[in-house]
A and B are shown apart, each in its own frame.
Chain A
Amino acid sequence: MMTDLLKVNNLNYKKNNKAILKDVNLNLTSGKIIGLLGENGAGKTTLMRLIAGVNSIPEGVITVNNVSKKSEIKQNVSFSDQLNGFGKNTKIGDIVKFYKNVYPDFSKEKYLEIADYLGLEEDKRISSLSTGTRGKLIIALTLSRETKLYLLDEPLSGIDSMSRKKIISSIIRWKTEDSTIIISDHYVTEIASLLDDVIIIKDETIYQVSSVEDIQEKYHLGVEEYYEQVYEGSVTK
């Protein structure tokens, strides 16, 4: 069943008087994998932080699973946190405990399955992790919350190809049927085969929401090519 999962109405966001996002409207259903595409600085991370309830919403309304209060949204959205808040000596096991305490929907069982698949060891300290392992840990933690909306902010950025492969398969493997996963990236080729739909951000707003299939059928282009042409201004909707 496809049901409304996320609604964004007339969202505006400014930073130091500069518009980051203007008049953003979105309506997403459950059960999809969606790519959030845009250049560096286009506002992808900002939009994710707003949807996740990390940043306050100055103007506009965001509704996830019928709740709109920031604190409630936070409990309904699993956002891939960059682990910056943890000290460098923190062990993986302690981060897992922290997640278990903070998020009632965190499933330790699910975490252990994913961690086993990705080869994450509980007694390793954050400071000893390679970028690839760190990326795997973030994915395992994010996917282990049992909720309907997952936001993965550039999960493959800066990560070696073997780890990227593992991260991609773990997304496919552990995605539940009725959940929606939004993946942001500025580099599309590798995730293109995963995506049902894409959201393209351009000029501080949502340029287009389209299914990948429609893009292939209508423009005879792959997602990556289409997205590049959108930025060059050589295609129109």
Chain B
Amino acid sequence: MMEYIDNIPIYLQIKDILYRKIISNQYELGSQLPSVRQLAVQFSANSNTVQKSLKEMTEEDVVIPQRGKGNFVTEDTGIVEKLKTHIVTEMFDATYDKLHSLNMNDTEIMNSFNNYVKQREVNHEQGIGN
């Protein structure tokens, strides 16, 4: 069963999951998406809700509907690149704001991020969980 955040419209949450799948190439460029009903079952959501997510994705040119055939992921790498930048920026925004609220300045944030990445590498080599 899907876990949704209660107070955010579900169509937005579904859109977000589908976008992440497109960016991470689980849904390849130019490939056909599952049918609305299949997605609805997969997301434990109403077809109308899935339809609404797809409608916005179509308006944002990421999904291209083909009459009688279904919905396809765009073949335009530029669009997907932009989408990726957008989502990555959103994630950084949230983290950056949180760190700033701890009174860290930009240099401190950069340094601690560098240290964090190095530590992750060390942990990975030593086989300590990630």
For the complex, would chain B's binding face be called helix, strand, loop or mixed by DSSP majority?
loop
- Are the CB atoms of A222 and B44 closer together than 8 Å? no
Question: Which residues of A come within 8 Å of B, CB atoms?
Answer: 31-33, 165, 168-169, 172-173, 175, 177, 190, 192-196, 212-213, 216-217, 220-225
Asked, given contacts A172-B37, A173-B37, whether A194 binds B45 with beta carbons under 8 Å apart, the answer is yes
Known: A212-B9, A222-B7. 8 other contacts (CB 8 A): A32-B48, A165-B1, A190-B1, A193-B44, A193-B45, A194-B45, A194-B46, A221-B6
Report the nearest A residue to B51, measured CB to CB.
Answer: A177
The docked-state distance in angstroms from the alpha carbon of A168 to that of B43 is 11
For the complex, would chain A's binding face be called helix, strand, loop or mixed by DSSP majority?
helix
Asked, given contacts A173-B41, A220-B7, A221-B7, whether A193 binds B48 with beta carbons under 8 Å apart, the answer is no
- Are the CB atoms of B47 and A192 closer together than 8 Å? no
Residue B92 at the A interface, CB < 8 A? no
- Are the CB atoms of B46 and A216 closer together than 8 Å? no
Question: Which residues of B come within 8 Å of A, CB atoms?
Answer: 1-2, 4-11, 37, 40-41, 43-49
Q: Output the least CB separation between A236 and chain B (Å).
A: 18
- Are the CB atoms of B9 and A33 closer together than 8 Å? no
Residue contacts A-B, CB under 8 angstroms, 24 given: A165-B1, A168-B1, A168-B44, A169-B41, A169-B44, A172-B37, A172-B40, A172-B41, A172-B45, A172-B46, A173-B41, A177-B47, A190-B1, A192-B6, A193-B4, A193-B10, A193-B46, A193-B49, A196-B46, A196-B48, A212-B10, A216-B9, A223-B6, A225-B6
Report the nearest A residue to B1, measured CB to CB.
Answer: A165
Chain B residue contacts of A216, Cβ below 8 A: 6-9
- Are the CB atoms of A217 and B6 closer together than 8 Å? no
Chain A residue contacts of B7, Cβ below 8 A: 216, 220-222, 225
